[in-house]
Amino acid sequence: MKKMHKIKNKYSHQIKQAAYQLGFQYVGISKAEFLEEEAANLEEWLQRGYHGKMTYMENHFDKRLDPTKLVENAKSVITLLYNYETPKKQADETAPKISKYAYGKDYHFVIKEKLRELLHWIQCEIGEVSGRCFVDSAPVLERAWAAKSGLGWIGKHSLLITRTAGSYFFLAELIIDLELEADGPIKDYCGTCTRCIDACPTDAIVDDKIVDGSKCISYFTIELKEEIPTSMAGKFDNWMFGCDICQEVCPWNRFSKPHKEPAFEPHPNLLGMNRREWQELTREVFNEIFRKSAVKRTKFEGLKRNIRFLD
């Protein structure tokens, strides 16, 4: 038993070191098991209709909660955080705003490649290990796994917060059939602070750790495919893609540090465009600036709709 513990500990340490070498800032490990507490929370969130028109959230309920339904004989969930914080800002303060996570190349591609490298390293250095890589593209409750493995805690705005570097991180997972030494959760350090709740212009944060997704600016500007309700007029604080308000006001983000990922650097023209240039945005300019960006998800017509809505 003692020998098995030492082996699990050794593998966990080796995998974490390999992940750090690939540029991940934080790595945590959990036992791959059913997320019992999250099951009740997810069910209630869906019943309240907080997913809005995101009907895909209703699909694969069991897979979201049980990693063994995603990877056969899964034993461990490795959660990794990749920093995207940048001090760079749009030059024109009156220009429609874009969430900083979308400044550079689409994170799905950047991080997925690093996860594949990590899985390949595990298979080469440790042995025959099966697993799958996940970057916000499958039914995985990423923040739950991150909190479970002690990488941080889930803040009142429902995002993961780390004690030493804030919340500007992409989350990713490797679910594998190798048993590893698991980490444990840490306490919640939000305390009585309600800055994120108070700052949200659409009142999307309805309770501690509960966000009504159907009221979130990110939902309206990215997920919603139809016209934005007129009842939301004047409430977007000039955000045309995504929203960073709840993170901007969070005291823990005073500890955030600039990323070191060249792929996340913005297109040379992105931050320099003024309000009028955004209003007159052409398909050609859109395709050039956002060629490999997450903004392509909303498509040219969607971004134009968002910009019009702000006028």
Tell me which residue of 85, 292, 289 sits closest to 170, measured CA to CA: 85
DSSP states of 18-74 as a string?
Answer: HHHHTT-SEEEEEE----HHHHHHHHHHHHTTTTTT-GGGGS-HHHHH-GGGTSTT-
* Total length of the chain: 311
Q: Which of 180, 141, 191 is nearest to 38 (CA)?
A: 141
Pairing of strands 76-83, 169-176: antiparallel
Contacts of 163 (CB under 8 A, 6+ apart): 152, 186, 189, 252, 255
Q: Distances from the Cα of 14 to the Cαs of 20, 71, 77, 111, in angstroms?
A: 10, 22, 15, 19
CB 169 within 8 Å of CB 141: no
* 136 classed as catalytic: yes
Q: Tell me the β-bridge partners of 134.
A: 173
Residue among 62, 66, 106, 136 flagged as catalytic: 136
Q: Which residues are designated catalytic? A: 136
